[in-house]
Amino acid sequence: MIYCLFEQSGTFKNELIKAGYDAIDIDLENQFSCTDLQIDLFAAIEKLPHGFLSDITSDDMIIAFFPCTWFCDNNMLLFSGKAYQMRNWTEAQKKDYIQQRRHDRTRAFYLLQKLIRHCKKYNIPLIVENPVSHYLIKTLGAYTIAHRRDRYGDKLQKRTMYYCYNCTINESKLKLYNNKVTGNKVQHIRGIQRSLMSSEYAANIIQAIERW
C-alpha cells in the first residue's frame, strides 16, 4: 500500500492506482471528495511509534506532501515583519504573530523529523515533497531532486523538491516536457490551487520512483 499523506486532491493516488498500486489519500480535510481517511496527521505523527501510522511497514511506502506553509522561503520576509500584509500592523501585533509562527514552524519541523526517523528505523520507503526551501536544505541536508514542475508535465512554474529515504526518484527516467507555461506562475495562484499538481506530472514522478 502507498499512503499519500496530506494529499486530499487524489492526483497522486489516482495515478498510482492507474500504475497498478494500492494507494489511499489521508488528510484532515476533504475539499475534493477524494480523501479516503480523514484524520489529524500531525496528531498521528505525534503518536508514533503507536497509533494508525505504526501499522505501515517496510512493504508499504509513504509519499508525504508535507504542508509547506512553515518551510517556504517567504517565512524570512514574514519573520522580518516587512511582509506586505503586515504594513498596517502595530509592532505588538507583528511581535505576537512572529512569535507564534516561529513556535508553529518548530513544531511542524519536529513532526517532520519524527516521521523521517520512524521511517528510517523501520526501513519504510518515504518521499517528502515540498517547495524548494533553503530552510529544509539547511536543516535536513541533501535533497534527492529539485526542479521546476512545468518541465516535467505540470501546469505551474513552481519549484519543487523531494527528499527520499529508503527509495529514490531516478531523475534520468523523468520525461522532459516543453509546456511553455510562462503565464502560469505560481505567484498569480491563490489558496490550495498553488499546491495542486497535474496528473501528467504525478504520473511522470511515479514512474521514476525506485525502491531500495
- The predicted model scores a pTM of 0.91
Domain boundaries, given as residue ranges, for the chain: 2-211
pLDDT confidence of residue 193: 59
pLDDT confidence of residue 33: 94
d(CA 173, CA 164): 16
pLDDT confidence of residue 179: 60
Is the CB of residue 91 less than 8 Å from the CB of residue 97?
no
* CATH class of domain segment(s) 2-211: alpha beta
Is the CB of residue 204 less than 8 Å from the CB of residue 16?
no
For the chain, which residues score pLDDT lower than 50?
182-183, 186-187, 190
C-alpha cell at 107: 513544531
C-alpha cell at 85: 500584509
- Residue 56 Ramachandran class (φ > 0 left, ψ -120 to 50 alpha, else beta): beta
SS3 annotation, the chain: CEEEECCCCCHHHHHHHHCCCCEEEEECCCCCCCCCEECCHHHHHHHCCCCHHHHCCCCCEEEECCCCCCCCCCHHHHHHCCCHHHCCCCHHHHHHHHHHHHHHHHHHHHHHHHHHHHHHHCCCCEEEEEECCHHHHHHHCCCCEEEEHHHHCCCCCCEEEEEEECEEECHHHCCCCCCCCCCCCHHHCCHHHHCCCCHHHHHHHHCCEEEC
pLDDT confidence of residue 141: 85
